[in-house]
Amino acid sequence: MRVLVTGAAGFIGAAVAERLCARGDTVLGIDSLNDYYQVSLKQDRVAHMREQAGERFSFQQVDFSDWEALTAALESEHFDRIVHLGAQAGVRYSLENPRAYVEANLMGHVNLLEVARHRGVAHIVYASSSSVYGGNDKLPFAVEDRADHPVSLYAATKRADELMSETYAHLYRVPLTGLRFFTVYGPWGRPDMALWLFTDAILNGRPIKVFNHGEMWRDFTFIDDIVSGVIACLDSPPADDGAQKAGGSVKPHALYNIGNHRSEKLTRVIELIEEACGRKAEVEFLPMQPGDVEKTYADIDAIQRDIGYQPTTAIEQGIPRFVKWYREYHNL
C-alpha cells in the first residue's frame, strides 16, 4: 500500500510515516515546512525518516492549502490512502495569526477532501483535536458530546473539518475517519508544547510558566500509542452500510477520541520532568490564558470497541523517554 501523509515533517506525521514504512508500506510525505517553529527540527525529522525508511519514503515540500501547487505535486503520483495530519497547530497562536488557520485548516482540508474524491481514495484518516469540546465540563469527553461551543479559532477550524468531512462522506461516499487527538507528547515532539517548554527551561535554569495557577489537567498521550491508533484506523475504513458510526454519522464517516484515558494534573507532569532532568523547576504561576481549557480527559470506548486501540504508555514511562531524547537531540 502507498500512503500519502500530509504534515510528514511534523511530529505525528513523521512518526506515522516511519511506522508505515517499517511495516512494509511506502509513503509519499508532503509538508510546507513553514516557520511556525524552527524549520531545522522539521528538516531533521525528514532526514531521520530517509535514514530509517530508505526508498520506501519520498518527500515533497508543498503547501497543501495551495490547490494549484498541490495538484502539480501529486499529478504523477499514485497512492491508495491518505493520512491527513498537516495543519496549522497551536491554540494560542490562533489568537495572533487567525488567517493561517483558515488557509491551512479549512482550505487545506477541503483540498485533501477533493484529492480523495477525484482519486477514488479508499480511505482518508484526518487529524481533529480534543479542543473541539471547548469548555465542556462533563468528563471524560465522549464523541457523542456536543462540540459546537469552541473557545479558540483553532478548535473552530477543527470542528469545521469534521463537518466538511461529513458532507463529503454524504455526497461522494468518501470513507473518512476523524481523530480527536489528546495532548500528544514524546521524542521528536513540538517546541510549542508544555513538555518541551518545561524541559528546555529546567535544563537551562529558566523559570517555567504554569497557567491557571497549576490547576490544569491533560490527557497526555505518548506518540507510540497515537501512531498505533492512527494506523489501526487507516486499516479499518468505516463501511458505507447505513449503520451509525462513532460520532453519530450514518455515512462512511467515523469520529474517535484518541487519548490515554487518564487525566493527569500538570504539577505531577512537572515532577516527572524534574526527576528525569535531575533538577528542580522554578515555577511562575499565572492566570488562565484566553482560549485554553482547564481539563481534558478522553473517553476512548468507541475506538477500543471498533478498532481495538489500547494505549500502553503511562506518563511515568513516557516523560523520561522524551527527556532522554531531548538531551540527545540537543547534545546535553
* Cα gap 146→150, rounded to integer Å: 10
C-alpha cell belonging to residue 152? 479558540
* Cα gap 227→260, rounded to integer Å: 12
Reduced to 3 states, what is the DSSP secondary structure of residue 257?
A: strand
Q: Is the peptide bond before 140 cis (omega within 30 degrees of 0)?
A: yes
- All residues at 6 or more sequence positions from 300 whose CB lies less than 8 Å from its CB, including other chains: 256, 257, 258, 259, 261, 309, 311
Q: Residue 180: what are its φ and ψ, rounded to 5°?
A: -90, 100
Using CA atoms, how far residue 245 sits from 220, 240, 294, in Å, is: 26, 10, 29
**What DSSP designation does 55 have?**
G
Q: Contacts for 284-289 with beta carbons within 8 Å, 24 or more apart?
A: 284/207, 284/208, 284/209, 284/210, 285/210, 285/213, 285/214, 286/209, 286/210, 286/211, 286/212, 286/213, 287/211, 287/212, 287/213, 288/211, 288/212, 289/92, 289/211
Catalytic residue among 154, 168, 256, 297: 154
- Number of Cβ within 10 Å of residue 77's Cβ equals 13
Crossing angle between the packed helical segments 108-119 and 153-172, to the nearest 10 degrees:
20
Q: Residue 214, by phi and psi: left (phi above 0), alpha (psi -120 to 50) or beta?
A: left
C-alpha cell belonging to residue 160? 469545521
For this structure, is 168 an active site residue?
A: no
Which residue type does 178 have? G
Q: How many residues does the chain have?
A: 332
Q: Which residues are identified as catalytic?
A: 154
